[in-house]
């Protein structure tokens, strides 16, 4: 039961084949049994979950079905404000912060009938490393494997059957890396598609909010609930919200899928390239028009992304850094120091690089519907090796498939695409035109109907 997709579960709840109350009891028991090993949750809101499940059972029983999320247990990265639980953002400075309201995305999910299981671990303020006082989540495919960046708690809990979906966030890759290494499906919507109201910022113009689930259809369902304008967030756009679930059921026959061969293969591990090529063949077999094209020059946009991110992060923390710098971990401190030391000229140059790359990428979608690329340049590393990789490889190479699409604000979908010879997940990524989440979900769901990578689970947590 705990490994059903959200969409499969929804049917069983609506037809009363599964009791919401019994389901939540099962999930709470599983969290209690397994999360001491996986360490994905910060807080489990058991009483609230049981009360919401009881309400859902009564409403569904009386014919008042709210939609496909009604009675479905979900959880939230601990940067999302919740008026029913602390929101620590993985920090020491906010370790006792109790919001008086919930984030718009959380409120919308609960209004759709979702059951809130609790809050999931994040790295310190959604940057690269956990605060020294916080134990990092463990990858369910192997405790020695890297569990991803800041949305690691969301990736681990979803992969291990401790929730049916989660909210994550992405500034440089933090939905995509945890989705890739934990073998789940993660959607980074277009910047502005989902309200960021009530979400701790890392770098406001780069931060994206999105769902992490076990299928593209599940992402479509969650996006349909959280997308749309929000008076509390002036950056949430007023563009119409499509029926993403319906879009995910459409064929990809005739869809134009671009392959940027040099960008996707040069300096990339051969195993990653093989997964990317195999995915392209799947799309071709499904009737898509798969064609190679010249990708825009990306290195300048990638190499200047740290200037954008660090400058905005320094602004976010101006009230507490450096005045409370002793409460910060070393990685977040280093990022803020970089931002505080950057000049106006540095920032202007980075901004120009961002605009130029964004314009050149946007032009490619006049002839393409989606672009297929990897997520990482390397197979899932061990946690021990991650620090060495970060020191030895230029950041623009490590983030080449992620940060540039935060700079552009493009929608992306990360999908399981295979396994390496250790049994660790490997992933592919689909990039779409602005506000065309429907296209990446359409392509991703078609890929998952033709493959079963997304339905496999770790033998360590049956």
150 is catalytic: yes
d(CA 106, CA 103): 5
Complete DSSP assignment for 79-145: TB--TTS---TT-STTTT---SS--HHHHHHHHTT-EEEEEE--SGGGSSS--TTSPPP--TT-TTB
Question: Could you tell me which residues are beta bridge partners of residue 167?
Answer: 76, 211
> Given 19, 40, 102, 150, which residue is catalytic?
150
Peptide bond into 322 cis (omega under 30): yes
Asked whether 113 and 147 are in contact (CB, 8 A), the reply is: no
Q: Cα(163)–Cα(179) distance, rounded to whole angstroms?
A: 14
Residues in the chain: 462
Rounded Cα distance between 250 and 433, Å, is 18
Q: How far apart are CA 73 and CA 118, in angstroms?
A: 9
Contacts of 200 (CB under 8 A, 6+ apart): 79, 81, 87, 89, 94, 125, 126
Q: How many CB atoms lie within 10 A of CB 162?
A: 29
* Residue owning tokens 């499904």: 286
Q: Which residues contact 36 (CB under 8 A, 6 or more apart)?
A: none
Query: d(Cα 42, Cα 412) in Å, to the nearest integer?
Result: 27
Tokens representing residue 380 in the block: 């899932």
Strands 185-188 and 208-213: antiparallel
The full DSSP string for 314-348 is: HHHTTTTTTTTGGGS-HHHHHHHHHHHH--HHHHH
Helix (H) or strand (E) run with residue 76 in it: strand 73-77
Active site residue 77: yes
Catalytic one of 10, 152, 174, 303:
174
Beta carbons of 254 and 396 less than 8 angstroms apart: no
Determine the 3-state secondary structure of 355 from DSSP: helix
* Catalytic entry in 10, 40, 77, 152: 77
Question: Under 8 Å CB-to-CB from 207, ≥6 apart: which residues?
Answer: 126, 169, 170, 171, 196, 199, 201
Whether 154 is a known active-site residue: answer no
Residues marked active site are found at 77, 150, 174
């Amino acid at each position: 039961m705990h490994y059903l997709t959200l969409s499969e579960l929804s049917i069983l709840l609506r037809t009363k084949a599964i009791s919401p109350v019994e389901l939540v009891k099962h999930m709470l028991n599983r969290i209690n049994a397994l999360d001491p090993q996986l360490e994905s949750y910060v807080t489990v809101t058991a009483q609230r979950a049981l009360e919401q499940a009881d309400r859902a059972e009564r409403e569904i029983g009386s014919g008042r079905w709210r939609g496909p999320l009604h009675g479905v247990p979900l959880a939230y990265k601990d940067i999302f404000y919740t008026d029913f639980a602390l929101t620590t953002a993985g920090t020491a400075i906010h370790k006792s912060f109790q919001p008086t309201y919930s984030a718009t995305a959380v409120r919308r999910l609960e209004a759709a009938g979702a059951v809130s299981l609790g809050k999931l671990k994040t790295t310190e303020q959604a940057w690269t490393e956990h605060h020294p006082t916080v134990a990092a989540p463990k990858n369910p495919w192997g405790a020695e494997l890297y569990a991803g960046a800041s949305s690691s708690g969301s990736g681990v809990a979803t992969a291990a059957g401790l929730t049916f979906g989660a909210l994550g966030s992405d500034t440089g890759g933090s939905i995509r890396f945890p989705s890739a290494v934990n073998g789940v499906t993660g959607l980074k919507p277009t910047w502005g598609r989902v309200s960021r109201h009530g979400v701790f910022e890392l770098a406001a113009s780069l931060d994206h909010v999105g769902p992490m689930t076990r299928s593209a259809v599940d992402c479509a369902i969650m996006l349909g609930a959280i997308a749309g304008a929000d008076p509390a967030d002036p950056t949430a756009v007023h563009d119409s919200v499509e029926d993403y679930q319906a879009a995910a059921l459409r064929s990809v026959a005739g869809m134009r899928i671009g392959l940027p061969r040099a960008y996707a293969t040069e300096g990339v591990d051969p195993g990653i390239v093989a997964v990317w090529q195999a995915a392209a063949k799947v799309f071709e077999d499904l009737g898509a028009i798969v064609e190679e094209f010249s990708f825009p020059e990306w290195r300048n946009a990638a190499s200047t992304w740290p200037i954008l991110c660090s400058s905005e992060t320094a602004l976010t923390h101006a009230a507490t850094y450096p005045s409370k710098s002793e409460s910060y971990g070393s990685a977040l401190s280093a990022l803020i120091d970089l931002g505080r030391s950057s000049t106006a000229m540095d920032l202007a140059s980075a901004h120009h690089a961002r605009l130029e790359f964004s314009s050149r990428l946007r032009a490619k979608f006049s002839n393409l519907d989606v672009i297929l690329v990897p997520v990482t340049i390397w197979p899932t590393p061990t946690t021990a090796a991650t620090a060495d990789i970060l020191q030895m490889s230029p950041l623009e190479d490590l983030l080449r498939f992620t940060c540039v699409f935060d700079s552009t604000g493009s929608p992306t979908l990360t999908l399981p695409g295979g396994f390496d010879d250790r049994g660790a997940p490997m992933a592919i990524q689909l990039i779409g035109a602005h506000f065309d989440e429907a296209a990446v979900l359409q392509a991703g769901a078609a890929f998952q109907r033709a493959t079963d990578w997304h339905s496999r689970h770790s033998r360590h947590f049956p």
